[in-house]
Chains A and B, each alone.
Chain A
Amino acid sequence: MAALHTWLAIAMVVVSSTAGDVLTARAMKQVGHVGQLWRSRGLWAVLKAVIGNVYFAVGIACMAVSFFSLLVALSWADVSLVGPAAASLTFIANAFAAKLYLKENVDRNRWAAALLVACGVALLAV
């Protein structure tokens, strides 16, 4: 069993990675369909809308925190524990966060998909 501080680092990876995913997802929903925006107003308008979005900036910052937390976790424990644990728990956390924060309709199929992918990724990373 890994030490408590290793699990705290893994939890930090999961929380910051999930926050990064839901915040960037919210940013992109606010920006709207980028294909349509590109066709109507050009690439520059797309870049301006994405990079200028506050949720996108905070999301990217969360992804950076997640990356450095992962490095810390890897310095404390083996990649065979940290990799699968962080990746698979992030899939489950994302489903909860998308339901609660993004108000997505996470139906039975999506829960099943999240669980199957989480288990699959855990096995792939072993």
Chain B
Amino acid sequence: MSLRKYLVLAAIVLFGPCGDVCLSYAMRQAGPIRAGDFGQLIGFVFTPWVALGILLLIGFFASYMAALSWADLTYVLPATSLGYVILALMARFLLHEQVTVTRWAGIILVSLGVAVVTRGPSLTKAVEEGQEGD
């Protein structure tokens, strides 16, 4: 795999959790939302942290789709699950949430899964149109 493809996988791993953390931070600052108040919800979209979170999640989805255009689903999903680990670490160090021993065990298992899948090829069959390149 080329450096560019690794950068796309890194973008998936980073953009997803960063987007989630932005949304989580924004909603914590906002406090509880009144049920059914769509005006309030739409208003949130234009606040800086929510807007940034949405932009990051759009970046995540675009990178995810790009990766699926040249790699197997069973490669992309485990390889990018490192995002769960990043999210747990960001929750611990940026949002000051508690990361229990169970969660650290989870982080180790996910990391092992990533290590196992990234040792193999990213694409195992011919694509219907287009081809694997660079």
Contacts and interface: CB of A to CB of B under 8 A. Distances in A.
Interface residues of B, number: 44
Contact of A35 (B117, B128, B134): B134
Interface stretch (B23-31, B44-52, B72-80): B72-80
Contact of A33 (B72, B114, B120, B132): B132
Interface string B102-134: 110111111111101101100011011111111
Interface SS of chain B: helix
Contacts of B84: 120-121, 124
A33 B116 contact: no
User: Which has the most chain B C-beta neighbours within 10 Å: A33, A50, A102?
Assistant: A33
Contacts, number: 147
A109 B119 contact: yes
Contacts of B107: 120, 124
Contacts of A32: 69, 127, 129-131
Measured as residues with beta carbon below 8 angstroms from the partner, the interface class of chain A is: 35 or more
Interface SS of chain A: helix
Interface in A77-126: 91, 94-95, 98-99, 102-107, 109-110, 112-117, 119-126
Interface of B: 4, 65-66, 68-70, 72-78, 81, 84-85, 88, 100, 102-103, 105-114, 116-117, 119-120, 124-125, 127-134
